[in-house]
């Protein structure tokens, strides 16, 4: 039964024992951290990189090198302009450390955040690729570990919540010990804004990119959450685009964009090389996505509906929970992972 796969304009989803094996990949950027946690547990505002020199009081150090602070409209552009010049080496290092220290101190509030929902909406076949440095995603992951069956986290720009052991080539939570040699983890490199990012320079970053590409190359669904794919980072966009094209599922793969309504047109144009129009959903909140409506089975619900004409009931959608315990208890009741099918799809 069905159309022979060589006549289809797309590849069929990979299925093993009635379970989908293709990942749902979520790409997160600064907008996701702001949606998850605008103020941290201690009331500290999470700064955007653009004006971080003002928030962190780095202006004096910048002035000491003869720059006029009022001329700096964008920290990223300023940093990028000095980073590769030997005479500003010390200033660049100083700014980098100050930013890292600030991010390190941020703490996720106790109540459930969008990052908790996001992590718990996916399973171990899936991945979250985060371009953020803040530790919120890693902190949310850690407190949900006990639920089990969680996605992979990937940080192609580095992250202050994660640490690395250079000797063992391992990665783990920043304030823990390496599981191989029991030494403390060192800082994971942060890729600061420079015109040409060299993703191959650090082996750990190179590995993060390899993993990101691997997941995207067989993704059956992509959600872009608060990541605007800045034109200054064309390399990242191209790496992701090329990997995703390999998946061969554009015609039936879900593509969701969560971003501000004010940037809808610009963002749809930005990403349209990657999606099929009829599969694209644009929204300004996680609550309108397949992840919220069908947590843990986002793509299973999609393929049951479009390939099997057997839509699932939305009776296990997320609600807004007041406590993390309630959210976790709810997630544990979701167990219908099998696809509905009588014939192979
Ligand atoms: Zn080690």
Expressed in angstroms and rounded, the spacing between residue 165 Cα and the centre of ligand 1 is 5
* Residue ranges making up the domain that contains 62: 49-104
| In a shared domain, residues 199 and 93 | no
Q: How far apart are CA 133 and CA 189, in angstroms?
A: 10
Q: Does residue 183 fall inside a structural domain?
A: no
Q: Does residue 322 fall inside a structural domain?
A: yes
Q: How far apart are CA 154 and CA 25, in angstroms?
A: 10
What percent of the chain is predicted at pLDDT more than 90? 71
The answer, yes or no, to whether residue 77 has pLDDT greater than 90, is no
Per-residue pLDDT at 304: 93
Expressed in angstroms and rounded, the spacing between residue 164 Cα and the centre of ligand 1 is 8
| In a shared domain, residues 75 and 9 | no
| In a shared domain, residues 84 and 133 | no
| Residue with the larger pLDDT of the pair 197 and 14 | 14
- Region 97-121 average pLDDT: 95
Expressed in angstroms and rounded, the spacing between residue 167 Cα and the centre of ligand 1 is 5
| In a shared domain, residues 274 and 327 | yes
What CATH number is attached to the domain comprising 205?
A: 3.40.50.1220
Expressed in angstroms and rounded, the spacing between residue 171 Cα and the centre of ligand 1 is 9
| In a shared domain, residues 54 and 147 | no
pLDDT band at 343 (very low <50, low <70, confident <90, very high): low
Residue 222's beta-bridge partner residues?
Answer: 25, 255
Per-residue pLDDT at 149: 97
- Region 307-335 average pLDDT: 94
Q: Does residue 336 fall inside a structural domain?
A: no
pLDDT band at 345 (very low <50, low <70, confident <90, very high): low
Please give, one letter per residue, the 3-state secondary structure of 43-74.
CCECCCHHHHHHHCCCHHHHHHCCCCHHHCCC
Quote the pTM value.
0.93
Average pLDDT of every residue of the chain:
91
| In a shared domain, residues 204 and 302 | yes
Expressed in angstroms and rounded, the spacing between residue 192 Cα and the centre of ligand 1 is 25
For the chain, the domain total comes to 2
- Region 233-253 average pLDDT: 91
| In a shared domain, residues 80 and 114 | no
Expressed in angstroms and rounded, the spacing between residue 200 Cα and the centre of ligand 1 is 22
Per-residue pLDDT at 1: 44
| In a shared domain, residues 150 and 296 | yes
Expressed in angstroms and rounded, the spacing between residue 181 Cα and the centre of ligand 1 is 4
Expressed in angstroms and rounded, the spacing between residue 168 Cα and the centre of ligand 1 is 4
Q: Does residue 341 fall inside a structural domain?
A: no
Residue 108: closest CA among 170, 208, 36: 36
Expressed in angstroms and rounded, the spacing between residue 267 Cα and the centre of ligand 1 is 41
Dihedral class, residue 226 (left if φ above 0, else alpha if ψ from -120 to 50, else beta): left
Among 29-33, 234-238, 320-324, whose mean pLDDT is lowest?
Answer: 234-238
| In a shared domain, residues 217 and 272 | yes
Contact in structure between 112 and 286 (CB atoms under 8 Å): no
| In a shared domain, residues 317 and 224 | yes
Q: How far apart are CA 240 and CA 212, in angstroms?
A: 8
The domain boundary, picked from 71, 89, 104, lies at 104
Dihedral class, residue 341 (left if φ above 0, else alpha if ψ from -120 to 50, else beta): beta
For the record, the structure tokens of 235 come out as: 């390399």
pLDDT band at 3 (very low <50, low <70, confident <90, very high): low
Q: How far apart are CA 162 and CA 13, in angstroms?
A: 33
For the record, the structure tokens of 204 come out as: 């750990």
Instruction: Dump pLDDT digits (tens) for 141-199.
Output: 999 999 999 999 999 999 999 999 989 988 999 989 999 999 999 999 888 766 667 77
Per-residue pLDDT at 70: 83
Instruction: Dump pLDDT digits (tens) for 287-306.
Output: 999 999 999 999 999 999 99
| In a shared domain, residues 94 and 195 | no
Per-residue pLDDT at 344: 60
Among 95-99, 182-186, 231-235, whose mean pLDDT is lowest?
Answer: 231-235
- Region 266-292 average pLDDT: 95
Q: Which residues contact 271 (CB under 8 A, 6 or more apart)?
A: 224, 229, 255, 257
Instruction: Dump pLDDT digits (tens) for 259-272.
Output: 999 999 999 999 99
The domain boundary, picked from 104, 129, 144, lies at 104
């Amino acid at each position: 039964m069905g159309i022979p796969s060589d006549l289809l304009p797309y590849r069929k989803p990979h299925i093993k024992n009635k379970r989908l094996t293709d990942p749902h990949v979520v790409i997160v950027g600064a907008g996701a951290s702001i949606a998850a946690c605008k103020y941290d547990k201690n009331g500290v505002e999470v700064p955007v990189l653009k004006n971080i020199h003002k928030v962190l009081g780095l202006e004096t150090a910048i002035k000491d090198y003869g720059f006029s602070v009022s001329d700096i409209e964008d920290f990223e552009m300023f940093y990028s302009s000095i980073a590769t010049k030997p005479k500003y080496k010390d200033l660049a290092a100083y700014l980098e450390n100050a930013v890292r220290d600030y991010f390190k101190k941020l703490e996720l509030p106790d109540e459930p955040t969008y990052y908790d929902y996001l992590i718990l909406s996916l399973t171990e076949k899936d991945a979250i690729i985060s371009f953020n440095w803040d530790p919120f995603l890693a902190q949310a992951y850690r407190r949900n570990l006990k639920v089990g069956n969680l996605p992979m986290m990937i940080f192609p720009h580095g992250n202050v919540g994660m640490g690395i052991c250079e000797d063992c080539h391992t990665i783990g939570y920043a304030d823990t010990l390496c599981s191989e040699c029991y030494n403390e983890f060192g800082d994971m490199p942060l890729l600061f804004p420079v015109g040409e990012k060299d993703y191959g320079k650090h082996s750990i970053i190179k590995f993060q990119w390899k993993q990101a590409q691997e997941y995207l190359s067989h993704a059956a669904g992509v959600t872009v959450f608060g990541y605007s794919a800045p034109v200054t980072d064309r390399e990242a966009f191209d790496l992701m685009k090329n990997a995703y094209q390999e998946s061969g599922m554009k015609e039936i793969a879900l593509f969701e964009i969560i971003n501000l309504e004010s940037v809808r047109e610009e963002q749809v144009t930005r990403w349209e090389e990657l999606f099929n129009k009829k599969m694209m959903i644009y929204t300004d909140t996680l609550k309108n996505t397949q992840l919220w409506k069908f947590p843990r089975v986002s793509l299973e619900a999609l393929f049951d509906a479009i390939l099997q004409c057997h839509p699932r009931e939305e009776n296990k959608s997320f609600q807004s929970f007041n406590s993390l315990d309630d959210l976790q208890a709810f997630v544990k009741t979701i167990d219908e992972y099998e696809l509905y099918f009588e014939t192979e799809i």
